[in-house]
Amino acid sequence: MIVLGIETTCDETAAAVVERSEDGRGKILSNIILSQVNEHAAFGGVVPEIAARAHVEALDLIIGRAMREAGQDFDDLDGIAAAAGPGLIGGVIVGLTTAKAIAMVKRKPLIAINHLEAHALTARLTDATPFPYCLFLASGGHTQIVAVRGIGDYVRLGTTMDDAIGEAFDKTAKLLGLGYPGGPQVEREALRGNPARFALPRPMQGRKDADFSLSGLKTALRLEAEKIAPLSDQDVADLCASFQQAVVDVVLDRLRAGLRLFRARYGAPTALVAAGGVAANLAIRKVLHRLAFEVGSVLVAPPLELCTDNGAMIAWAGAERLALGMTDTLDVAPRARWPLDEIAAAKGKLQRTAAYK
What tens digit of pLDDT does each residue of 64-97 get? 999 999 999 999 999 999 999 999 999 999 999 9
Query: How many CB atoms are located within 10 Å of the residue 214 CB?
Result: 25
pLDDT, residue 41, reads 67
Residue 264 parent element (H or E): helix 233-266
pLDDT, residue 357, reads 33
What tens digit of pLDDT does each residue of 185-226 get? 999 999 999 999 999 999 999 999 999 999 999 999 999 999
pTM of the model: 0.91
Q: Enumerate the domain spans of the chain.
A: 2-127+305-356, 133-300
pLDDT, residue 224, reads 97
Residue 218 three-state SS: helix
Q: Would the CATH topology of 2-127+305-356 be identical to that of 133-300?
A: yes
The residues facing 2 across adjacent strands are: 19
Q: Which residues of 305-336 are buried (b: 16+ CB within 10 A; e: fewer)?
A: ebbbbbbbbbbbbbbbbbbbebbbeeebebbe
Residue 167 three-state SS: helix
**Residue numbers of the chain with a pLDDT score lower than 50:** 345-357
Calculated CA dihedral for residues 276, 279, 281, 282, nearest 10 degrees: -160
CATH code linked to domain 133-300: 3.30.420.40
Instruction: Tell me the C-alpha to C-alpha distance, in Å, between residue 216 and each of 5, 196, 205, 207, 220.
Output: 38, 18, 12, 16, 6
pLDDT, residue 344, reads 52
CATH superfamily membership of 2-127+305-356? ATPase, nucleotide binding domain (3.30.420.40)
Strands 272-275 and 299-300: parallel
Chain-centre distance for alpha carbon 95: 17
pLDDT, residue 42, reads 65
